[in-house]
Every structure is written in structure tokens, then in C-alpha cells.
Amino acid sequence: MKGLLSVSFGTSYEETRAKTIDVVDGKLAVAFPDRAFYSAWTSGIIVAKVRKERGETHNTLDEAFARLTEDGIDDLVVATMCLTNGHEMRKIAQHVETWVHGAEGRTACLAEPVLSSEADRKALAAALGEEFADVPEDEVVLLMGHGSPGGPNEVYSQVQDELASLGNTRFVMGTVEGEPTFEDALEQIEASGARRVHLAPFMVVAGDHARNDLAGEDDDSWKSMLEARGYETVVTLRGLGELEAYHELVCVHAQKALIVE
């Protein structure tokens, strides 16, 4: 029996989930009409949180693969909303490998992360350029990525380079837990001479990091630290998962994985 598993990190913020994860799930289901649809969130903490607070029944990876087994799925496509081959992507790959080897005759193809190729990064950079097309040239757009202490982090500078190659030189990238850091981004902002900074998440959803680390009122948020240095800030709480280009990349990667398999 054929199945499709859509995997994301998850979010406890209903509004951004409805505009991002839910939309991508819907498009994946349409793209694979001959496969039974399943979904999972890699963050067990978030799954437990929304289950306790709102009674929502999202699956952890363990629960999703248990359901696949119970339903007799033996031919699986795994779509991922991960941007890079970081910790969450590696976690997904481990679960897929364990499931495949759990019974004879099972097959699974795992899609690559959304920003795996230069073409992927160029497509998303073009969409971001359109998203912030109204920002004046003498102002800066600071994008907050998540980053990973153990890597890979090069994708962030690569996307910034793609933006610059398209003429969007006002974009600056930073990460919460990797490189480039906020300090790295600040150096570029200072060198630009801009006095107004537009803040936006370079993450699938505008969740906790976006609302607190990026745009929160505490002294250590990026917004507060920029304002303390005299910058005017403008916040846009829209996750990458709201962009049509992102939706297309997730679906295309899942389709390519099936073809390669």
C-alpha cells in the first residue's frame, strides 16, 4: 500500500501553522493523489504542548511510523519542510531507515531538504526579492535563520549571495544558533549606512523564535538590540512557508525523490 508522509518541525502558533504547514500539507496531498496521506512533527515538545493545551492530535515521528505500520503501508514517500540537512533532517532520515529495515519488502524515498541546490536557493531568493520589493534601497532587510551549532550553516550566506546576484543587495542574514551570528549581521548593517531595518524570519513558520528572539520586547531580542543602537525597525512576521515558491520546492523535491527511487 502506498503512503506519503509530510514532515515538519511543527509550531504551537495556530495562525502561522494555518498559513504554512497546513497549506503545504494540502498541496502535497493533491500532488500525490494515489497515496494515503500522513503527517508528523519532529518536535515532540511542541506536539505535547498543543495536545495538552488545545487537544490537537499531531503525530510525532514515532507515532507516524507506528501508524504507517498499522495501516500496512509498504511503499512510502517522505516529504520534508526542512531547509537544510541539519539535526531535524538527520532525525527524519534515521526514522526512515529504521522503518524500512523493520519489515521485509518495505521501500521509502526521502526528499532532499528544500534548499539543497543552487537552483533551490535562487528560486527562494527571487521570491524573497519580490516579497520585499517595496523596501527602499537605503534600508536593510535582516532575515533571521535558525542555524545549527554543528552545521550546516553555509546555506544562509549562499542565499544572501543569490539575493545580491539578483540585485537585492539590501538583504542581510543572521541566525539564532549558528553562523552568521547577529553580530556578523550587525557589522553589515552598520557598513550599509542604513538607519531603518526590516526584520523577518528566514524560517518556515513565524513561531517562537520570530516572535521572541527576533521581534520580542525583551532587551536581548534583535529588534530591541537594534533600537538600542538607534535603528528604526519594521517587523514582518511571515514565515517562508507562506511563499508559493517554498510550497513548490517542497512538492518538487518529493516528486523528484520518487522518480529517483
Would you please indicate which residues are annotated as catalytic (active-site) residues?
A: 146
C-alpha cell at 202: 528566514
CB atoms within 10 A of CB 211: 16
Pairing of strands 232-235, 140-145: unpaired
- Check if the beta carbon of residue 159 is closer than 8 Å to that of residue 217: no
Please name which of 54, 57, 67, 61 lies closest in space to residue 9, comparing C-alpha atoms: 61
From start to end of 90-209, where are the E strands?
A: 107-110, 140-145, 171-175, 196-201
Cis, bond preceding 201 (omega within 30 deg of 0): no
The three-state secondary structure class of 149 is: coil
Cis, bond preceding 136 (omega within 30 deg of 0): no
- Check if the beta carbon of residue 22 is closer than 8 Å to that of residue 241: no
- Check if the beta carbon of residue 2 is closer than 8 Å to that of residue 75: yes
The three-state secondary structure class of 190 is: helix
Alpha helices in the chain (DSSP H): 14-19, 21-31, 44-54, 61-70, 87-100, 118-131, 154-165, 182-192, 208, 222-228, 244-260
In eight-state DSSP terms, residue 210 is I
